Chains A and B, each alone.
Chain A
Amino acid sequence: MVSKKEIETLAALARLKLSDAEVKTLQKDISNILEYVEAVSTAKIPSGSTARDGIGIVLKNVMREDTEREGDLLAGKRENLLKALPKREGDYAVVRKIIEK
């Protein structure tokens, strides 16, 4: 079973605040799901490739010319994007001070 500490570390990595009760539930749920998906361990890695080869054969690569596109795709949308900000001052998003002295 996935440990309480592992769940808490993952939650911190994922920036999720969880209650103690949820940590417990997730220990059980994540363990059950991992047990099920474990089946993929039977997949054989073909010789000459590694587990990090990506999904090359699944998808067909479609290349395009590296040229400038006409017009700005976001033209006229600036104000709309700014309007979505939860906290705004003028044309700036308000964020918390990150660098401390």
Chain B
Amino acid sequence: MGISELASISITEAARKLGAKEISALDLVRACLKNIEVRDKSLNAYLEVFDDVEAQAKKADERRAKGESHPLLGIPFAIKDNILIKGRRAGAASKILEGYVASYDATVIKKLKDAGAIFLGRTNMDEFAHGSSTENSAYGPTKNPFDEERVPGGSSGGSAAALAAHMALGSLGTDTGGSIREPASFCGLVGLKPTYGAVSRSGLIAMGSSLDQAGPLTKTVADAELIFNTIKGEDPLDSTSIGEHTYAKKSAGRRIGVPRRLFVEGVDQDVLKNFETSLERLKKKGYEIVDIALPSASLALAVYYIVMPAEVSTNLARFDGVRYGLSLKGTSLYEDYAKTRGEGFGPEVRRRVMLGTYVLSAGYYDAYYGKATIARKQLAAEVTRVLEEVDCIANPTTPTPAFKIGEKSDPLSMYLADIFTVTANLTGNPAISIPMGSVTRDGKELPVGIQFTAAHGDEAALFAAGKALEEK
């Protein structure tokens, strides 16, 4: 049984066909369900496919028949398992949340529901979004649809694989250090990490609260823009959310800065070749490419692996076996906690909680967290200064194409996959990964991505650069 071609079209194209009554939402979900049946047994992108998707589709078709016409009406989505949908299981791919059912809708879900989107199911991820490969899921790794021996990236690997294998038309992920952009790069998709605060975090299972953002993974830039415009906006339930006018609008320019010194070492030669080819194509579209310097960016990953675990260790303190999920009993209150958390969290989560506890402990606080905070300030100041001169910063999204499952067993080597993506989370800038062709490994074509970063609130510059690159 082959895969259904209908589920391989973009959201924009599907919306046109739905509007023209060439297809129904029911046709779309059936196409996705068929592809899930064919491919997901081996890919493991979905942790759960909901049992009411056809009913949801019929409802969307009824809404259209009554005259509604939002472009996302009837579009089937795959949703990362750390985004709450009321009445559905949500678990951040962790055993500690076994049995937890969401008691409310995340704001992003509420907005998608209002628009009429359909939720196919919840997708696999690195446990609590801790990872760059989806191998840290408590429910087994997700595989890359382009080469099943390789990882799809992470932590939103399930959302990326679901989309790349045409088992959904759109998907939502979350991005704390690259968790939308890196899997987008590895799976040949567009992935957007919006400006910090542009999209409400209410109803996301928190990882690093000064870094987290939810955003779309899509097949085209127009699709990403459409989803972003639907889910963004100020929200009383998230006091860090921002409005349209929080940041001054920039004029639409066409200058791209490239911090070349950052990738003289450690970047795959084929990836670099694709990157240079993409810059040449942008030049032909009227973009000016200039060299820029970001001296503090070489510290970004070190800063990130202090700030992030510090926030993780505090955010994950709420999983104590009392309020939700797994609850194990020992001989004392202390043992109840330690047993529940020791057995409920997986190894990478335990490692990050320990690291965060270390860098925040008295005696080490100033040397690690304090210094990281200073470096973070410097980095933000540099990025802001550079973005006064250029409209976007460009670099390869990841230093390599997708790596093999099991290849990065040492935690530090895995962390290095985030080297180009963490900066945007530390500084709060919006960043997008756009497909820039593929490289050949073991006879397989593996996609790679180019990342653009823009000034706060200037997602428009990212979409413009992405569309310029997308045009044939």
By a beta-carbon cutoff of 8 Å, the part of chain A in contact with chain B is: 2, 6-7, 10-18, 22, 26, 29-30, 32-34, 36-46, 49-60, 62, 64, 69, 73, 77, 80-81, 83-87, 93, 95-96, 98
Q: Say yes or no: A39-B302 contact (C-beta < 8 A), given A13-B361, A15-B320, A29-B411.
A: yes
Return the chain A residue nearest B236 by Cβ: A69
State whether B373 touches A54 (Cβ < 8 A). Answer: yes
State whether B411 touches A87 (Cβ < 8 A). Answer: no
State whether B341 touches A52 (Cβ < 8 A). Answer: no
B101 contacts the other chain (CB 8 A):
yes
Q: Find chain B residues with CB under 8 A from A52 CB.
A: 366, 370, 373
State whether B354 touches A11 (Cβ < 8 A). Answer: yes
In the complex, per-residue mask of B415-429: 1 if CB is within 8 Å of any chain A CB, else 0: 100000000001110
State whether B372 touches A16 (Cβ < 8 A). Answer: no
**A11–B313 Cα gap in the complex (Å)?**
11
Q: Find chain A residues with CB under 8 A from B299 CB.
A: 39-40, 42-43
Q: Say yes or no: A85-B302 contact (C-beta < 8 A), given A14-B357, A51-B373, A55-B377.
A: no
Q: Find chain A residues with CB under 8 A from B350 CB.
A: 16, 18, 22, 26
B351 contacts the other chain (CB 8 A):
yes
Interface contacts beyond A51-B374, A55-B380, A86-B325: sample of 15 additional A-B pairs, CB < 8 Å, sorted by A:
A17-B339, A17-B343, A29-B411, A30-B354, A33-B411, A40-B368, A45-B371, A49-B374, A55-B210, A55-B376, A58-B377, A58-B380, A59-B196, A81-B103, A85-B323
Q: State how many angstroms separate the Cβ of B211 from the closest Cβ of chain A.
A: 11
Q: State how many angstroms separate the Cβ of A86 from the closest Cβ of chain B.
A: 4
27 contacts between A and B (CB under 8 A): A16-B353, A17-B341, A30-B354, A30-B355, A30-B358, A33-B415, A36-B412, A37-B302, A39-B298, A40-B299, A40-B303, A40-B375, A43-B296, A43-B371, A43-B372, A43-B375, A51-B366, A53-B374, A62-B242, A69-B236, A73-B236, A80-B103, A80-B104, A83-B103, A86-B327, A87-B327, A96-B333
Closest 4 CB pairs of A and B: A51-B370, A17-B342, A80-B103, A86-B327
State whether B355 touches A58 (Cβ < 8 A). Answer: no
Q: Find chain A residues with CB under 8 A from B374 CB.
A: 40, 43-46, 49, 51, 53
Q: Say yes or no: A40-B302 contact (C-beta < 8 A), given A17-B338, A45-B374.
A: yes
Q: State how many angstroms separate the Cβ of A41 from the closest Cβ of chain B.
A: 6
**A83–B89 Cα gap in the complex (Å)?**
13
State whether B100 touches A84 (Cβ < 8 A). Answer: yes
**A2–B338 Cα gap in the complex (Å)?**
21
Return the chain A residue nearest B367 by Cβ: A41
Q: State how many angstroms separate the Cβ of A23 from the closest Cβ of chain B.
A: 10
Q: Find chain A residues with CB under 8 A from B296 CB.
A: 43
Q: Find chain A residues with CB under 8 A from B358 CB.
A: 2, 6, 10, 30, 34
The secondary-structure label for the interface of chain A is loop
B322 contacts the other chain (CB 8 A):
yes
**A33–B308 Cα gap in the complex (Å)?**
13
B246 contacts the other chain (CB 8 A):
yes
State whether A84 touches B323 (Cβ < 8 A). Answer: yes
Q: Say yes or no: A60-B246 contact (C-beta < 8 A), given A26-B351, A32-B412.
A: yes
Return the chain B residue nearest A11 by Cβ: B354
Q: Say yes or no: A98-B333 contact (C-beta < 8 A), given A37-B302, A43-B375.
A: yes
Q: State how many angstroms separate the Cβ of B325 from the closest Cβ of chain A.
A: 7
**A80–B325 Cα gap in the complex (Å)?**
14
Q: Find chain A residues with CB under 8 A from B86 CB.
A: 80
Q: Find chain B residues with CB under 8 A from A55 CB.
A: 210, 373, 376-377, 380
Interface centre among A22, A50, A84 (most CB of B within 10 A): A84
Q: State how many angstroms separate the Cβ of B443 from the closest Cβ of chain A.
A: 34
Q: Find chain A residues with CB under 8 A from B196 CB.
A: 59
Q: Find chain A residues with CB under 8 A from B373 CB.
A: 51-55
State whether B303 touches A14 (Cβ < 8 A). Answer: no
Interface centre among A29, A83, A98 (most CB of B within 10 A): A29
Q: State how many angstroms separate the Cβ of A11 from the closest Cβ of chain B.
A: 7
**A95–B336 Cα gap in the complex (Å)?**
10
Q: Say yes or no: A26-B371 contact (C-beta < 8 A), given A55-B376, A60-B247, A83-B103.
A: no
Q: Find chain B residues with CB under 8 A from A86 CB.
A: 321-327
Q: Say yes or no: A43-B378 contact (C-beta < 8 A), given A15-B337, A38-B302.
A: yes
